[in-house]
Amino acid sequence: MNAKQLKLLLESVKDGRETVDDAVTRLRAMPFEDLGFAKIDHHRSIRCGFPEVIYCEGKSLDHASAIFDRCAANGDNVLATRATRELFDRVHQQHATAEFDETACIISLRQNKVAPSEGTIAVVSAGTSDSRVAEEARITAEMMDQKVATYYDVGVAGIHRLLAHSQDLQAASVAIVVAGMEGALASVVGGLVDCPVIAVPTSVGYGASFGGLAALLAMLNSCASGVTVVNIDNGFGAGYAATLINRTRNSKAG
């Protein structure tokens, strides 16, 4: 049950269209639904502003598709990360409007109308090899009703490509910067903008990058103020955090 459904339920009790006992029965699934192999947090959208997200890696097809079905039955938008085409084929049989992004490995199902954000989140990536993580961040933010502008393949090896977008970047409310190799792009962007910068190191790079560790450490040691860092390849975490920041900034501005 999401916040809208809860409000309608309480209004129906207030108006006498539903008894208190009936309302209690419907609320028994809150705050979670126990499937035996998983406990689905149907209350999360009320507490946190977005429903529980399904992390698919390591889950069986049966379990992941069952969780998706129950999340969809709650009436919320559904987001499943690190998903496979095989899982999507299973999900799509029950949810014809579900979509699969091959690059980001995300299954999404939108059931609620878009309520666009006031500010814009900029997603900046160094190279095309970082696209999977950048797209995971973009889709996550867009599913949370954020306006997103993307600036891809603008790494420091050809810094003029980045500087060509300086004015647009300076208009963003939050910037997500995705880079592998030495991870220098986050520091450069941090020196160009006055908004929070969320740096995402990726596991892209040659042997001495140590699967993204070099980029992670470089971003953690950034000399640019206002740069914070999420874990290696965590585009979802960056998109989610950027959304929370953008919501907070614009709610205070309003």
Domain extents in the chain:
31-109, 120-253
pLDDT for residue 30:
61
Secondary structure class of 136 (helix, strand, coil): helix
How does pLDDT run along the chain (254 residues), one tens digit per residue? 556 666 777 788 888 888 887 776 666 556 677 678 888 777 777 777 778 889 999 999 999 999 999 888 878 889 999 999 999 999 999 999 999 999 999 999 998 888 888 899 999 999 999 999 999 999 999 999 999 999 999 999 999 999 999 999 999 999 999 999 999 999 999 999 999 999 999 999 998 899 999 999 999 999 999 899 999 999 999 999 999 999 887 666 55
pLDDT for residue 251:
66
Backbone angles phi, psi at 139, to 5 degrees: -65, -40
Predicted TM-score (pTM) above 0.75 = yes
pLDDT for residue 252:
60
DSSP state of 30: -
DSSP labels, 155-218: -GGGTHHHHTTHHHHHT-SEEEEEE-TT-THHHHHHTT-SS-EEEEE-S-S-GGGGGGHHHHHH
What torsion, rounded to 10 degrees, do the Cα atoms 162, 167, 169, 174 define?
160
Looking at the domain covering 120-253, what would its CATH class be? alpha beta
Q: Which are the contacts of 168, defined by CB distance < 8 A and separation ≥ 6?
A: 122, 149, 151
Q: Closest by alpha carbon to 226, among 252, 174, 190?
A: 190
pLDDT for residue 29:
55
pLDDT for residue 1:
54
